[in-house]
Amino acid sequence: MRNFGAVVSLAALATALTACGGEQGTDEKPAETIAEDAMTSDSDDISVSEADLEGNPFTVAWDTPYGAPPFSEITDEHYMPATKAAILELRAEIDAIVNDADEATFENTIVALDLAGKQLSKVSNTFGNVTNTDTNDTLRALESEIYPMLTREFNTILFNEALFDRVKSVYAQKDALGLDEQDARLLELTHRDFIRAGAALDKETKDRVAEINEEISALTTTFGQNLLKATTGFKLEITDPAELGGLSESFTAAIKVDGEDKWVVGLNRSPFETFMTQSTNRELRRQLFDGYRLRASEGENDNGPVAIKIAQLRAERAQLMGYESHAHYQLETRMAKTPEAAEEFLLRVWRPGLARAREELADIQSLINADGEGFTAAGHDWWHYAERVRQDRYAFDDAALAPYFELDAVRQGAFDMATKLFGVTFDEVETPVWNPVVTSYDVKDENGAHLGLFMMDMYARESKRGGAWMSTYRDASDISGDRIRPIVTNNMNLITPPEGEPTLMRFDEVETLFHEFGHGLHGLMTQIRYENFSGVDGPRDYTEFPAQILEHWASQEQMLADYAQHHETGEVIPGDLIEKMRNASTFNQGFKTTEYIAASLLDLAWHRLTPEEAAEITDARAFEREVLERYGLPEEIEPRYRSQYFAHIFAGGYSAGYYAYMWSEILDADGFMAFQEAGDIFDPELSQKLKTWVYEAGGLREADELYRNFRGKDPEIEPLLRVRGLDSAGG
């Protein structure tokens, strides 16, 4: 998943400025929330003195390798004055555009807008990324102040009538300006951004939209902070070694508390799933399961009322802007176009997925019965017994794979893949880092030219949000010969092994690394000169495609021979183990498909509400229960995210868009099939097309056209169903 939350450039004023990437994570505070969820039409009365800025690292050019932030010099106290100073600088830049005595032109208005706010991006990108990886109480308090401040500022810009008049003036001349393709796209998107933000509304409506945005901005911050506190506040503590039954030695060692006879499991997805799969203690599985699914659902961290209020405000805003619902507004510029089309697509996969899930549940119950157990399978049993069914059916134990997937080797395998596909190379370098575990790489193209700095933060910690994501500290641009290359990050939450031990990964974690690496390449390889649509750009239901397609390479035998070697013996993963892994790859896809689509349908249900319908909701869990029962979700399967911890949609950039991961899966399954048909997973012609029309192209054209230019045709859904093993299931 990409994290758009750190991006606050005018480059994407009214569109997604924040979060994307791997499906395994949650979104944090999104730039989309900053721009989409703005505040009042009057900006803050902001001032900052020279004394406030004395010694502030943000006030000087960074003489660091690759221009990386000097993290050791930046303290929490530097962010607020630096943000205020950057806002004042942005105001001066906007005033210069508005007050230019010359007639509005592409250069003095449209390009000037793309260039505006560089200093603010520098500050807020750093702030947004650090609060996601190493937060504390001070930073959380600053989020509640800084994000609303930024939101107000962006609304003021987007609702500036004199500025919009200049944009309209240039747009009216678009056919006579002789613009090249990138120039024309910048003009088109800039005008569209203003329109979709509400710049053309009457003053009274704009004022109300701005008020709504103010509330949403505050609420999304509250939602994210409640979730973080609820997540880190839960700990399953084990003091009796007898209760560790089924847990592997490596996992047991990883969760042991140093110096104590105690083992602790939290709610990060990786340790959660490992424990739920391995543990033979049904009661402990239930406790952890309930801790996970009931997060932020009661007490001071209850996100239910917050979610309801956000949905109500989004529904009202959509109506004010002339749309049937928030979902209709959001999907207008995406590949699905309408929520009805998104739902129809989801249901095409839901039906066979649900049928397969019922078969899987029957297999699980049969195994429980065969064990002589006297209980009916419940949600907290699924992971454990599904793994046992898989071992029985395929003679395959997922734990047998881990010794072949050591982090450093997997990472190098991803790098080697990128070199073979696109000619890019990765050299480890020393740079400032925000945490000692971070590694940095100088990325070069096939000619040895610098493409960007790539930084990887792979381990979980209390100060870091959960999930996996890609983000940027600096985006790419190349205007008037000022070539700026990006600083891109990948983040995961792997369990830190005991000192001196290797970091061994489950194969789904390997796929996640390749996924986030795909987002990283999308940001690093861009050849777009305007920030507005450089790097990871495009509609939500397309931007996952460049990440998801690379997951296919992770399991190819040719790739496995390159990176899947036993961490102790160096033995390449045996062919029979690969065959077992491949045969078992579609196992439990009914469950995985169903839990994901259930969350996607829940997202659409929240955001298809009219203001009148939204006003009637008083209990978030009752609402979601009614929605999920309507679609027939079995009670033994939880949706991937319940409302109170669905940060993708209530604290991130995926509102009405969580379906995008599966929509993009149509593209990645169909796209990888082209390489299979070519008989070469590194086919030079296809690799060049993928490079040119996907990884380098940003948002140069509409997403469906970019895909067709790569693939030569529109995608088909059948490859997706085959990949998930659902082509013969259900109706």
- Identify which of 519, 544, 535, 537 has the alpha carbon closest to the alpha carbon of residue 475: 535
Tell me: the pLDDT tens digits for 230-244? 999 999 999 999 999
| 516 classed as catalytic | yes
| Structure tokens belonging to residue 634 | 């079995």
Give tens-digit pLDDT for 375-395: 999 999 999 999 999 888 888
Instruction: Kindly list the structural domains of the chain, giving each domain's residue range(s) and its CATH number in brackets, ordered by start.
Output: 4-227 (1.10.1370.40), 235-294 (no CATH), 403-572 (1.10.1370.40)
Handedness of CA 195, 473, 540, 692 (dihedral sign): positive
Q: Is residue 2's pLDDT more than 60?
A: no
**Residues 146, 79: contact at Cβ < 8 Å?**
yes
- Alpha-carbon distance 240 to 262, whole Å? 8
User: Per the residue annotation, which of 28, 387, 516, 551 is the catalytic one?
Assistant: 516
Sheet with 439-444, edge to edge strand ranges:
425-429, 439-444, 450-459, 487-494, 469-474
What is the secondary structure of 478-496 as a DSSP string?
EETTEEE--EEEEEEEEPP
- DSSP states of 66-100 as a string? GG---GGG--HHHHHHHHHHHHHHHHHHHHHHHT-
Burial degree of 189 (CB within 10 A; 0-12, 13-18, 19+): buried
Residues sharing a CB contact under 8 Å with residue 181, sequence separation 6 or more, in sequence order = 700
> What is the C-alpha to C-alpha distance for residues 71 and 181, in angstroms, rounded to an integer?
38
Distance CA 124, CA 633 (A): 41
Q: How does the average pLDDT of the chain come out, rounded?
A: 91
Q: Give residue 466's pLDDT.
A: 82
Cβ pair 652, 18 in contact under 8 A: yes
Which pLDDT score is estimated for 580? 87
As given in the structure block, the two tokens for residue 378 are 């419940």
State yes or no: pLDDT of 402 exceeds 80: yes
Per-residue pLDDT, averaged over 302-317, amounts to 98
End-to-end CA distance of the chain: 31
Q: Looking at residue 28, what is its pLDDT?
A: 33
For 416-470, how does the pLDDT look when each residue is reduced to its tens digit (9 = 90+)? 999 999 999 999 999 999 999 999 999 999 999 999 999 999 999 989 988 899 9
* E-state strands within 379-486: 425-429, 439-444, 450-459, 469-474, 477-479, 482-484
d(CA 439, CA 453): 11
- Nearest to residue 433, comparing CAs of 652, 133, 231, 172? 133
How far are the Cα atoms of 407, 417, 556, 571, 726 from residue 561, in angstroms, in the given order? 15, 12, 9, 10, 29
pLDDT at position 620 over 90: yes
Q: Answer whether residue 35 shows pLDDT above 50.
A: no
Rg (CA), the chain: 25
Q: In terms of C-beta density within 10 A (0-12 exposed, 13-18 middle, 19 or more buried), how is residue 17 classed?
A: buried
Strands 477-479, 439-444: pairing is unpaired
CB 451 within 8 Å of CB 534: no
- pLDDT in the model for residue 43: 57
Confidence of residue 25 (pLDDT cuts 50, 70, 90): very low
Q: Nearest-CA neighbor of 440 among 695, 64, 715, 9?
A: 64
Stretch (H or E) spanning 245: none
pLDDT class of 270 with cuts at 50, 70, 90: confident
Q: Evaluate if residue 723 carries a pLDDT over 90.
A: no
Does the structure show a pLDDT above 50 at 14? Answer: no
pLDDT given at position 45: 85
Residue 250 pLDDT: 87
* pLDDT for position 728: 61
Across 653-675, average pLDDT: 94
At residue 726, the pLDDT reads: 84
pLDDT per residue as tens digits for the range 56-86? 999 999 999 999 999 999 999 999 999 999 9
| Span 484-513, average pLDDT | 94
41 pLDDT exceeds 60?
no
Q: Which residues have CB under 8 Å from 532's CB, separation 6+?
A: 11, 12, 114, 186, 189, 190, 699
In angstroms, rounded to a whole number, what is the distance separating the alpha carbons of residues 239 and 137? 30
Name residues whose C-beta falls within 8 Å of residue 458's C-beta, 6 or more positions apart in sequence. 407, 437, 490, 491, 492, 494, 503
The span from the CA of 199 to the CA of 196, in Å, is 7
Judge whether residue 38 has pLDDT over 60.
no
> Exposure string (b/e) for 231-241, b if CB count within 10 Å is 16 or more?
bbebebebeee
- The whole-angstrom separation of Cα 217 and Cα 29 is 9
Sequence-ordered list of residues with C-beta below 8 angstroms from that of 95, at least 6 positions apart, any chain: none
Angle, to 10 degrees, between the axis of helix 620-631 and the axis of helix 589-607?
A: 120
Segment 609-623 shows an average pLDDT of 97
Q: Residues 184-216: pLDDT tens digits?
A: 999 999 999 999 999 999 999 999 999 998 899
**Which residues of 433-497 form beta strands (DSSP E)?**
439-444, 450-459, 469-474, 477-479, 482-484, 487-494
CA nearest to 289, candidates 234, 247, 335: 234
- Of 523, 518, 569, 566, nearest to 545 (Cα)? 518
Residue 444 φ then ψ, to 5°:
-125, 150
In angstroms, the Cα distances linking 193 to 10, 11, 197, 235, 318 are 10, 10, 6, 44, 15
